[in-house]
Amino acid sequence: MMKINIKNLAVKSLLMAAIVLFIFPSCNDDILDEKPLDFLSPDNAYLTEAGALQGITALHDRVRSAYYSFGEFGVMNWATHGSDLGYNGETPGPGGSYLNSYADMTPVWRNVIATWNVGFEIIQWANVLIDRVESADPEAFSDGEAGKSKYIAEARFFRGFAYRYLVSTYGDIPLLTEPINSAKADFIRNPVADIHDLMVEDFQFAANNLPKPGEEDAPGRITQGPAWHYLAETYLEQDDFQNAVDAASKVIEDYDYDLMQERFGTKLGNDVWGSGDVYFDLFGFGNHNLPENTEAMWVIQVEPFIIGGGQIASAYIFGPRYFDIGLTPDGKKGFQGELYNGLYTGYSDSLGRPTANGRGTSLVYYDIWKDNWDIDVRNAEHNLKRNFYFDNPESAFDKQKIDFSLYDPPRPDPIADTCKIIFPIHTKFTDPLNYFLQPNRSGGGITHKDWYALRFAETLLIRAEANLELGNNGLAAADVNRIRERANATPVSAAEIDMDFLLDERVRELYGEEWRLIILRRTGKLLERVRKYNDNPLVPGADIEEHNFRWPIPQEQIDLNVDADFPQNTGY
């Protein structure tokens, strides 16, 4: 039967109610007829507004944990690895836990299994909630039938969101619209087109029944805006470009979203590196949920000061291991760090403790900026930090910029120096001078910032893509130029814009926020751009082959599905 990971169910008792029937299938009709009266079960857990809220909270919590995961579908991982944007700089060769080489991608690779399991786990939880709330008495909800529909709409949004990742990654997959309440070993692979049709239905229902932006019950709750956005994206997957334009236009024209133009929030007058701008402010601690932030559409919530509020344990992925510099050119310790309890930590409180697991390609750090290097604010030092300095008063090189050409004789491992020790870091991933935990390690790679699952800039780029596909290059350029004007970049003309320019603009604006592999598959650019731009020195082009357009189906899924044929993807 389809495997569902339940390792986190102990966090909240409500999760047990969501999945108990799936884990303990009944053996006879008498047990199935049991009527729970004084304990939670899937039959009664979500029949009230309080219960439905618990179910929605569980979905948000599960998506949050997966978002920042190492081996599930976290934006901190698959957003860049195996694409045109990055690889593991700490260990750039094949054979690791990250997607450096597609030759490592087998049906038993742990990330292939984990991403499949978490996606269908979210779908199962959503289906349980939808099924139960649909059968609930409207009078149990404060807004009656509309109140019921709001919870159903949010659950359907999450179902569509999970399918968005799964169908792009694996292709034909089971289409599940009802809870799995007993052991099942006859799943089939439904066509991609059927999955997209369900996603359209889910996002349409969500767009029509969720609260309007600004009317949600709490920060981070889903509103109509994200539903319209992902509906537009799904239309792009279906090559239905005019409907994609229309759905994205609902977001752009019918709500109060807009690009932020003026500085705001917590860093005003206190810029860590002596300068800043509105793009820098977008990622400041505490700024994501501010009412004046008109750019935030869906924010993953991280609340460090409440029990269960969470943290981003994988924030370490992006950025170089500057603290591993070793010795200065004159033989002194290269980096001593902050003074804590009388000892130097070896880490900077402005840079944190990154581990080089997310090393960008030359495209990310250099190629896309060459025409606007000194004017695009997204390339400014406070947004894309390129300069690192020796930190040891005992050395003659103290406070000088780290430059490997200063060493005589040359350092022995140039690949490690530029892939692991020193390379630029996007400061959106850091939380300078604000690391709450492990002060002796400058946070130990943990941050407590909220994170954008969706920003308004991405909707503009979605509509630009749809218009580009329709041949409306002028309209596409107009949407892109709204973003470029905010960044002080040179406008693009209708004659200049094409799909590659659009994909490059997504990197400039959304690096580490967009789900890059989904974008590259949708635009048909995965193979071309990975081969061209993934410049991992040990695995150039990530060893990508034609069949790697999709990932393999987990072998355990095929082995457990004994009552129906469940074929493997071609090439695996």
426: three-class secondary structure by DSSP:
strand
Q: Where are the domains of the chain?
A: 1-32+43-210+528-572
Alpha-carbon 17 to chain mean position: 28
Tell me the residue type at 447.
Answer: T
**Whole-number Å distance between alpha carbons of 181 and 184:** 9
Spatial distance between the Cα atoms of 117 and 128, rounded to a whole number of angstroms: 16
CA-based nearest residue to 330, from 218, 416, 386, 407: 407
From 3, 238, 236, select the one nearest 115 (Cα to Cα).
3
Give CA–CA dist 235/193, Å, rounded. 11
What's the number of CA atoms in the CB half-sphere (13 Å) around residue 440?
Answer: 3
Measure the CA–CA gap between 190 and 171, rounded to whole angstroms.
Answer: 9
Would you say 245 and 255 are in contact if contact means Cβ atoms under 8 Å apart?
no
* Three-point CA angle 319, 322, 323, nearest 5°: 125
CATH topology of domain 1-32+43-210+528-572: 1.25.40
Beta bridge partners of 190: 173
Full 3-state SS string of 137-179: CHHHCCCHHHHHHHHHHHHHHHHHHHHHHHHHHHCCECCCCCC
The one-digit pLDDT tens for each residue of the chain (572 residues) are 444 332 333 233 334 333 333 332 333 444 445 555 555 566 778 999 999 999 999 999 999 888 877 667 665 456 789 999 999 999 999 998 889 999 999 999 988 999 999 999 999 999 999 999 999 999 999 999 999 999 999 999 999 999 999 999 999 999 999 999 999 999 999 999 999 999 999 999 999 999 999 999 999 999 999 999 999 999 999 999 999 999 999 999 999 999 999 999 988 888 999 999 999 999 999 999 999 999 999 999 988 888 777 788 778 889 999 999 999 999 999 999 999 999 999 999 999 999 999 999 999 999 999 999 999 999 999 999 999 999 999 999 999 999 999 999 999 999 999 999 999 999 999 999 998 889 999 998 888 899 999 999 999 999 999 999 999 999 999 999 999 999 999 999 999 999 999 999 999 999 999 999 999 999 999 999 999 999 999 999 999 999 999 999 999 999 999 999 999 999 99
DSSP letters of 84-149? TSEE-SSS-SSSSSSSS-GGG--TT-HHHHHHHHHHHHHHHHHHHHHHHHHTS-GGGSTTHHHHHH
Best CA proximity match to 279, nearest among 422, 452, 447, 434:
452
- Give the DSSP H/E element, type plus range, for residue 298: strand 296-300
Tokens (6 digits) for 524: 């048909």
